[in-house]
């Protein structure tokens, strides 16, 4: 196993632990956390919900990784999503992600997110 695969395995294990330790009413808590207050405008609510798209919640994890929507994430589903992310970051396709490539990809995602 190379360093990249070990990192993926560690990330996957961390995500599974996070899912397992999330309170059983996590979806209810998540809904309550994103519910608008009386003072919150629709635009503010949309921005707040948008911030949760990349969150590390159980729902966000499964929405991102469970491609066949069967309620579980296979190694293939997990590594497929991670490989796509790596390919996006490796702008010059040399098999390595430099700090500039990493930051550049992040800035593109942030700009797209803020434009929504």
Nearest C-alpha neighbor of 11 from the set 75, 72, 63: 75
Read off the pTM: 0.49
Q: Which tokens hold the place of 65?
A: 């990784």
In a domain, 38, yes or no: no
In a domain, 40, yes or no: no
Q: Which domain holds residue 16?
A: 3-20+50-115
pLDDT of 57 reads 86
In a domain, 44, yes or no: no
Give per-residue pLDDT as tens, 14-47.
Answer: 555 454 444 444 444 444 444 444 455 555 554 4
pLDDT of 56 reads 77
- Give the range with max mean pLDDT: 59-68, 76-85, 107-116: 76-85
Q: How many domains does the chain have?
A: 1
In a domain, 106, yes or no: yes
In sequence order, which residues have a C-beta less than 8 Å from that of residue 15 and are 6 or more positions away?
56, 61
In a domain, 14, yes or no: yes
For residues 105 and 23, what is the distance between their CA atoms, to the nearest angstrom? 33
In a domain, 31, yes or no: no
Give per-residue pLDDT as tens, 83-97.
Answer: 999 999 999 999 999
Mean residue pLDDT of the chain comes to: 73
For residues 72 and 109, what is the distance between their CA atoms, to the nearest angstrom? 27
In a domain, 25, yes or no: no
In a domain, 77, yes or no: yes
Q: What angle in degrees, to the nearest 10, is found between the helix axes of 75-89 and 3-21? A: 120
């Amino acid at each position: 196993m190379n360093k990249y695969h070990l990192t993926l395995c560690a990330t996957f294990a961390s995500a599974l632990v996070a899912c397992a330790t999330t309170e059983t009413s996590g979806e209810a808590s998540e809904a309550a956390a994103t519910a608008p207050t009386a003072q919150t405008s629709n635009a503010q609510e949309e921005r707040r919900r948008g911030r949760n798209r990349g969150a590390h919640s159980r729902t966000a994890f499964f929405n991102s990784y469970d491609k066949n929507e069967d309620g579980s994430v296979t190694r293939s589903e997990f590594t497929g999503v991670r490989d796509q992310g790596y390919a996006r970051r490796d702008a010059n396709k040399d098999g390595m992600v430099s700090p500039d490539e990493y930051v550049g990809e992040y800035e593109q995602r942030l700009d797209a997110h803020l434009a929504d």
